[in-house]
Amino acid sequence: FENRAEVFVEFDWDANIKAKSIEAREKIDAIRDELPDDVERVMVFKFNTNDMPIFQLRVSSERDLSNAYDLLDRNLKGEIERVQGVSRVELYGVEKKQISIRLIPERITSLHIDTNELGRRLREANFSMTAGHFFANDQKF
């Protein structure tokens, strides 16, 4: 996964995982100002051996599946999630589609485009921004 880091911490079997996760969160919060400015969030997950997958499925095809996230999410992941006793299904190797709109400040200025107006129009056009950011004049929305 691009632009992402994971740190795994192992504890003794008798450790209080709830207390240790709180302690980890406190330690991260204490150094938050020392992390790079573009670090958006740090998440702490508690892992239990019960969370380990008991079933892994690999899908292969003669066609390119790199753009098949929606298809696999809807037709495979969704069906498996409905099976009694399944707690989580994750897709790896395929990415959600995303669109990146980069505005060139000089062109925006020369075309007299108001970035606030552009953002408003995108919202009014039922433009969904489920993930990602809208930048205007060095501001992130």
Residues spanned by the domain of 31: 1-52
- Do both 42 and 1 map to the same domain? yes
pTM: 0.39
pLDDT (tens digit, 9 = 90+) per residue, 56-99?
888 888 888 877 888 888 888 888 989 988 888 888 877 777 66
pLDDT digits (tens, 9 = 90+) for 22-31: 998 899 889 8
Report DSSP state, residue 84.
T
Token pair in block for residue 138: 């060095």
Q: Specify the number of domains making up the chain.
A: 3
Do the bridges between strand 135-136 and strand 139-140 make them parallel or antiparallel, or are there none, so unpaired?
A: antiparallel
Which tokens in the block code for residue 85? 């006793």
Whether 58 and 88 map to the same domain: the answer is yes
Tell me: do 81 and 37 sit in the same domain: no
Q: Find the distance separating the first CA and the last CA of the chain, reported in whole Å.
A: 24
Q: Are residues 66 and 31 in the same domain?
A: no
